[in-house]
Amino acid sequence: MAYDSNNVFARILRGEIPCDKVYEDDHVLAFRDIRPHAKVHVLLIPKGAYVSLEDFSGKASEAEIVAFHRAIPKISEKVGIAVTGYRAIANSGADSHQEVPHYHLHLLGGQRLGPLLSLS
Ligand code: AMP
């Protein structure tokens, strides 16, 4: 799938749409999900143009991949879920119901989350 530079997260990165920013560095941006599925729901995105986890994992540089993962404990600490725990979810592609075609990792916590999946 080709990268669509008008997707909502690309527009957030360009400053065209506001976001509730939690963390930013040279490679990543993290902000609160606009429709949270838990008391704490943060999205972590790379600044590079990657469609999905599949795309990011295959094509991103080692510096981008390291920065992305090193950001996670900084974010979890900042939003208060490092100790209590959280779930990280990355939807990738059609079967996953990925809606925004810019790679993002959901970080969900602040409450007991229950079982991993309910298929319907
Ligand atoms: P996914 O289904 O994995 O692609 O998740 C996309 C997520 O992006 C959803 O949880 C949306 O609520 C969230 N989202 C969409 N637009 C925005 C926005 N402008 N700011 C913050 N989160 C957003």
pLDDT surpasses 90 at 1: no
Q: Which atom of ligand 1 is nearest to the CA of 97?
A: 2
CB of 94 closer than 6 angstroms to any ligand 1 atom: no
Amino acid at 71: A
Q: What is the pLDDT of residues 9-45, one digit of tens each?
A: 999 999 999 999 999 999 999 999 999 999 999 999 9
CB of 33 closer than 6 angstroms to any ligand 1 atom: yes
Looking at the DSSP bridge assignments, the partners of residue 42 are 32, 107
Q: Look up residue 32 and give its DSSP letter.
A: E
- The reply to whether the predicted model has a pTM over 0.85 is yes
- Pinpoint the alpha helices (H) of 16-119: 53-59, 62-78
85 neighbors 37 (Cβ within 8 angstroms): no
Amino acid at 40: V
CB of 97 closer than 6 angstroms to any ligand 1 atom: yes
Of the two residues 40 and 116, the one the predictor is more confident about is 40
Q: What is the pLDDT of residues 43-59, one digit of tens each?
A: 999 999 999 999 999 99
Q: What is the pLDDT of residues 59-110, one digit of tens each?
A: 999 999 999 999 999 999 999 999 999 999 999 999 999 999 999 999 999 9
Spatial separation of the C-alpha atoms in residues 82 and 76, rounded to whole Å = 5
Residue nearest ligand 1's atom 12 by CA: 35
